Amino acid sequence: MAELTIQASDGGSFTSYLALPEKTPAPTVLVIQEIFGVNQVMRDTCDWLAKEGYLACCPDIFWRIEPGIQLTDKTEEEWKRAFDLFNQFDVDKGIEDLRATLAALRKHEGSNGKVGSVGYCLGGKLAYLMACRSDADANVGYYGVGLDELLGEASNITKPLMLHIATEDKFVSKDAQKKIREALGSNPLITLHDYEGQDHAFARVGGEHYDAAAADLANRRTLDFFKQHLA
């Protein structure tokens, strides 16, 4: 599709993958990557959203560590590299970069000015934080990691948030899931969906734990959510 350069708030710039729908201006979705970078899975996600009528953009949030990371989930070496990047990643700087992307997308000629976010894994965590720390119009997190350590920020949420939770997520313990439900479940702005028996990354096409039925259900819910809040 295309590439969009974003100016960071503290200097420097980074690139993002941009997918345009047939008709613009269009509602816009900021796609937040997994720990594998802006790889084919993330580009395919943007292309899927574009086919559904959204302008979709996935920024390279690992640029401060190393720009242009593109890994797969197919080899042990790549997994090791992905976790190394995850451990080096500065979450606060990442949110700054996502807010810069959000601001650029609001002004993009192809956008209707309404911008939401959707994130996966690490991106799911960041989508939750975008709900807490940005003015994004709606946010969706798929199997976000570490949310139980960030629940103190939930009082800052003023826009709709949807979270897709895998009940057998190997990276999110049952205790962590319980804390998330107890802290967020009664908030009218937050919708929680449990996917019974599903493991982490059940919506990653081609992944070890991909489940077509669960992924299709989550994706339909996401599209309905964005249709409601970004149109």
Predicted pLDDT of residue 231: 87
Predicted pLDDT of residue 17: 98
Backbone angles phi, psi at 126, to 5 degrees: -70, -35
For 79-129, the DSSP string reads HHHHHHHHHH--HHHHHHHHHHHHHHHHH-TTEEEEEEEEEETHHHHHHHH
Residues with Cβ < 8 Å from 155, sequence gap 6 or more? none
Question: What residues are paired with 58 via a beta bridge?
Answer: 17
CB 29 within 8 A of CB 52: no
Task: Please identify every residue annotated as catalytic.
Answer: 169, 200
Predicted pLDDT of residue 1: 65
Residues with Cβ < 8 Å from 6, sequence gap 6 or more? 13, 14, 15, 16, 59, 97, 100, 101, 104
Place of tokens 């570490």: 146
Question: What residues are paired with 3 via a beta bridge?
Answer: 17
Question: What residues are paired with 7 via a beta bridge?
Answer: 13
Q: How far is CA 103 from CA 11, 51, 142, in A?
A: 15, 23, 23
* Cα separation, 202 vs 82, whole angstroms: 18
* Cα separation, 215 vs 219, whole angstroms: 6
Quote the pTM value: 0.98
Instruction: Note down pLDDT in tens along the chain; length 231 residues.
Output: 699 999 999 999 999 999 999 999 999 999 999 999 999 999 999 999 999 999 999 999 999 999 999 999 999 999 999 999 999 999 999 999 999 999 999 999 999 999 999 999 999 999 999 999 999 999 999 999 999 999 999 999 999 999 999 999 999 999 999 999 999 999 999 999 999 999 999 999 999 999 999 999 999 999 999 999 998
Set out the domains of the chain in order of their start, with CATH numbers.
2-230 (3.40.50.1820)
For 126-178, the DSSP string reads HHHHHHHHS--S-EEEES-SSGGGSGGGGGG--S-EEEEEETT-TTS-HHHHH
Residues with Cβ < 8 Å from 216, sequence gap 6 or more? none
